[in-house]
Structure 1
Amino acid sequence: MRIQNKLFAIFFVTSVVLVTAQVLVMQWSIGKGMIDYVNKKELDALDSLVISLQELYHEKGSWELLNSDHFYFKNLVDKHIHSDDSAIFVPPRGDRPSFGERRPPGMRPGGSRPNSFSERFDFDRPPPHAVTYALLDPNKELVAGIYRKQSEFGYLDIVVNDKVVGYLAVSRHNELTAGYELSFVEQQQMYVLLIALGLIIIAILVALPLAKHFVDPIKILTTSMSKLTSGQYEQRINLKRKDEFAQLTRDFNELAVTLEQNEEARKRWLADISHELRTPVAVLKGEMESMIDGVRPLSMERIQSSLEEINQLEQLLNDLHELTRSDLGTMHYRKSWVELLPIIEEVSNQFETVLSDKGIKVELIPQHTSIPVYADVTRLKQLFSNLLSNVAKYAVDGDLLKITMKLLENGGSKEAQIFFEDNGQGVDEHDLPQLFEHLFRVENSRNRKTGGSGLGLSICKKIVEAHHGKITAFSSEVGGLGIKIILPLE
């Protein structure tokens, strides 16, 4: 089942359930409200009867006159009920005298009297849905009329001389069976049903576009993701929304940009590797063919030149192997707490001769003599060796290498900062961020004639990142290239 259909079904079913529940509650409320209204109306209509009963009690001083005289009480009730639609405890209407007729109690319509009291009234079985009336004493015991305690009654107090001398009990309606009240309720229920039908139609009209509103972005994302998986990394989504889909769109676009950049980097990487491998092989092949063809004489100088090309090719392959191991996570690090200054001093001493031959003087400035770091000693030596080798190859126009060590606190945590700054010809500002990319060389100085593979700084970056640090390039204050290394100490 499609998501749009599921959403529509959820919205529609929820709306139908809510409307149905509302209709049922409204119908129950209308019916109960009308029943309460009818019951109250009947009680209000008996105020005159209550007054007559008060006068009768005041005159006689007791209920002895009405005691068990149901006919007298019945006639008294008939006299005060002005609506013939109000059912009482008497038999059905055809056998009941009208309110204006003066018929002696107990007489048949033809003027004859019934043979017995029970022949005229069956007080145990009043007509269905009939309203029954009863006169009760102060203890709510029956004086006259029909009164079954299991039924629901409404009570009107009969007060004489500020004393309750009895109650007029009127049975309550539990449902409507006839009359304009029932017609009104049925009419209102019909209106409610029509309103419910209209609400369901509105729910359908709202649910369809609402489901489409949620599903359309998903369709766009699905289509774009399908193209992205097939290699079309130029895909971009522009959804002008302010919900979670907007964030998902931004993440998708960032993913597309990252994949596109990675694809371009991969292609450039393959092209650069091919070029780097092809060049020394081509030079070496040319040297060999020229000597075999007799164009150039076989000599130690030619052999030495070929060996240099082989050494350069070997260095390139070794650097590629190091980078590959780092990317695959197979470059092992055996870390321990070591002092940073002795490691830098040892590597600097190793390169002292090489740098002196280039006319470069090393100036080591340790602002703190004790800077313990948790690191792999071998990898740190490889890091500093690559940086010093980089200076020896490319800072040929300079005569100074300044190495500065600092211990700083940054946001409550300590870090070691090491600066390598030369006063050579330096690097243009726009090339600085690319120095740590694979096989990158600055055109005007860092070309392959210097003997570098273009991977040394990339390896440095991998080593620093493996120690949870950061390495950046900047323009040195002494005039050349500066390299800044940050290593956390905690």
Structure 2
Amino acid sequence: MSPSGAERPPRRAPEVVAKAVSRVPDVRPLDRVTSIRTKLGVLVALTVTFASFVTWVGLRNELGPTRTLPLAIVLSLLLTQVLARGMTSPLREMTRAARAMADGDYSRRVRATSRDEVGQLAGAFNQMSADLEASDRVRRELVANVSHELRTPIAGLHAQLENMVDGVTAPSPAVLQTSLAQTERLSRLVTYLLDLSRLEAGAAELNLETVPVGDFLEEAAESVSLLEASKQLHYVVDVSPPDLALEADPARLHQVVTNLLHNAIRYSPPGGTVRIEAYGPPSGDHVLIDVADEGPGIAPEDRERIFNRFQRGSAPSGAAPSTGGTGIGLAIVRWAVELHGGTVEVVDDPGGARMRLALPRAHAASGHRAV
């Protein structure tokens, strides 16, 4: 009886076994063997050889069969336990890691040192864990970025509407224009998220038409200049030759150009110039479209990374840190450009940042095309 008067429960056998097993050293001398079947064969051969050796030593020292055989069996079982524990350790580690994943911890990894099927499974498990950890990190970044991007225009729009309702601010054209700009910003973010879902699904449609490049770029520049008038930027459209045309989906191409223009506007200094240039070499089968700004530029180490989802470039030395941006727009640009069979890249420009699109003049099949 315990001091409290209650009978102490007996120690359960599984707990004793588990503790005894946990004290067995985790050694893996068979890791170099490349097949689990070969390992089992080696294990059986070692166990039989060891038991025979112990039996021979016992009989040679005149211990007698009654002592030699039990000793050989016990020692063989211990050897089997040590070797088998090393063979199955990755499986136990995977079990613990899987339980941790169920609780949201994707940082666990398995010691994958063996070369057999269990080692290959452990390597695949580690890769899956890394992918899940990256996906979880992307999901968290998406929630944080979208929450930040939604909060800013919603707060501004709420304050403006509240002031107009309370009579503090008159509904003047300037106030309504500001409210419209905030609404457009919300609409643009929702469009980004819808396009991101299409990107994740890996499917989209192209409605191919012949697009006159000059008129198209003029319309795109005019549409963003009306919405982003606070910086008083100048837009220069230069197309050579003037009748340049290509075969593309106008809606997707407008999305690409406006995303690049919004990116240029974000980093342009007040009163700066945004240039949209298009040219088609006579002997080439691609049309090149450049969108250039007079901002701080893009660091060479960031020029590939910024086209990945939820990635934004670091501020160059001496430049103010970036404010705004979800890290989605340029990923959607690359996706839409690749749907057309083209490429997008950052090219050197001493005056700022320059994005270059290379789009095919014509496609093998015109009209509606499923990709």
Rate the CA distance shift 1:247–1:406 in 2: closer, same or farther, 3 A. Answer: farther
SS of the residue 2:205 aligns to:
coil
Rate the CA distance shift 1:241–1:13 in 2: closer, same or farther, 3 A. Answer: closer
In the other structure, the counterpart of 2:62 is none
1:480 to 334, 352, 362: 352
Shift of 1:232: 0.8
1:428 aligns with 2:303: no
> For 1:291 and 1:258, how far apart are their aligned partners in 2?
49
> For 1:325 and 1:475, how far apart are their aligned partners in 2?
28
1:333 to 194, 199, 205: 205
Alignment RMSD: 4.8
> For 1:242 and 1:363, how far apart are their aligned partners in 2?
61
Shift of 1:388: 4.0
Shift of 1:434: 3.0
Rate the CA distance shift 1:276–1:240 in 2: closer, same or farther, 3 A. Answer: same
Rate the CA distance shift 1:345–1:251 in 2: closer, same or farther, 3 A. Answer: farther
Rate the CA distance shift 1:442–1:402 in 2: closer, same or farther, 3 A. Answer: farther
Deviations 1:380-428 (A, max 9, x none): 343234334544554453464444657999xxxxx95846252522123
- TM (normalized to structure 2)? 0.58
Indicate if the aligned counterparts of 1:355 and 1:361 stay in contact, CA closer than 8 A. no
In the other structure, the counterpart of 2:216 is 347
In the other structure, the counterpart of 2:11 is none
> For 1:391 and 1:422, how far apart are their aligned partners in 2?
7
1:264 aligns with 2:137: yes
> For 2:191 and 2:94, how far apart are their aligned partners in 1?
44
SS of the residue 2:354 aligns to:
strand
> For 1:436 and 1:391, how far apart are their aligned partners in 2?
18
1:275-290 correspondence to structure 2 within 5 Å: 275-290=148-163
Amino acid at match of 2:129: A
Rate the CA distance shift 1:258–1:406 in 2: closer, same or farther, 3 A. Answer: farther
In the other structure, the counterpart of 1:359 is 234
Shift of 1:13: 11
> For 1:11 and 1:291, how far apart are their aligned partners in 2?
84
Amino acid at match of 1:424: E
Shift of 1:235: 0.9
1:386 aligns with 2:259: yes
Amino acid at match of 2:110: I
Rate the CA distance shift 1:407–1:209 in 2: closer, same or farther, 3 A. Answer: farther
Shift of 1:299: 3.8
Amino acid at match of 2:194: H
> For 2:43 and 2:327, how far apart are their aligned partners in 1?
66
SS of the residue 1:228 aligns to:
helix
Deviations 1:188-230 (A, max 9, x none): xxxxxxxxx9xx9899787655544432222222322332243
Shift of 1:266: 1.2
SS of the residue 1:269 aligns to:
helix
1:209-248 correspondence to structure 2 within 5 Å: 209-248=82-121
SS of the residue 2:355 aligns to:
strand
> For 2:265 and 2:39, how far apart are their aligned partners in 1?
74
Indicate if the aligned counterparts of 1:434 and 1:440 stay in contact, CA closer than 8 A. yes
1:250-329 correspondence to structure 2 within 5 Å: 250-328=123-201
Rate the CA distance shift 1:419–1:220 in 2: closer, same or farther, 3 A. Answer: farther
Indicate if the aligned counterparts of 1:7 and 1:211 stay in contact, CA closer than 8 A. no
Rate the CA distance shift 1:246–1:343 in 2: closer, same or farther, 3 A. Answer: farther
- TM (normalized to structure 1)? 0.46
In the other structure, the counterpart of 2:28 is none
**Structure 2: tracts of 5 or more residues without a match:** 1-35, 50-68, 226-231, 365-371
Across the two proteins, how many residue pairs are aligned to each other? 288
Shift of 1:274: 1.6
> For 1:407 and 1:250, how far apart are their aligned partners in 2?
52
> For 1:445 and 1:12, how far apart are their aligned partners in 2?
62
Rate the CA distance shift 1:209–1:471 in 2: closer, same or farther, 3 A. Answer: farther
1:460 aligns with 2:330: no
> For 1:262 and 1:304, how far apart are their aligned partners in 2?
39
> For 2:205 and 2:215, how far apart are their aligned partners in 1?
20
SS of the residue 1:420 aligns to:
strand
Indicate if the aligned counterparts of 1:427 and 1:475 stay in contact, CA closer than 8 A. no
Rate the CA distance shift 1:405–1:208 in 2: closer, same or farther, 3 A. Answer: farther
> For 2:150 and 2:220, how far apart are their aligned partners in 1?
28
> For 2:280 and 2:219, how far apart are their aligned partners in 1?
19
Shift of 1:333: 0.3
More moved, 284-293 vs 236-245: 236-245
Select the structure of larger CA radius of gyration: 1
> For 2:179 and 2:121, how far apart are their aligned partners in 1?
57
> For 1:255 and 1:324, how far apart are their aligned partners in 2?
22
1:44-193 correspondence to structure 2 within 5 Å: none
**Which fold has the larger relative contact order, with Cα–Cα distance below 8 Å and residues 6 or more apart in sequence?**
2
> For 2:343 and 2:125, how far apart are their aligned partners in 1?
28
- Give identity over the alignment, percent: 25
Indicate if the aligned counterparts of 1:441 and 1:447 stay in contact, CA closer than 8 A. no
In the other structure, the counterpart of 2:309 is 437
> For 2:39 and 2:314, how far apart are their aligned partners in 1?
63
Amino acid at match of 1:303: L
SS of the residue 2:168 aligns to:
coil
> For 2:101 and 2:85, how far apart are their aligned partners in 1?
24
> For 1:370 and 1:285, how far apart are their aligned partners in 2?
44
Indicate if the aligned counterparts of 1:421 and 1:483 stay in contact, CA closer than 8 A. yes
More moved, 347-356 vs 283-292: 347-356
Deviations 1:301-356 (A, max 9, x none): 43343333223323322332332343345x640366x77xx554442232465799
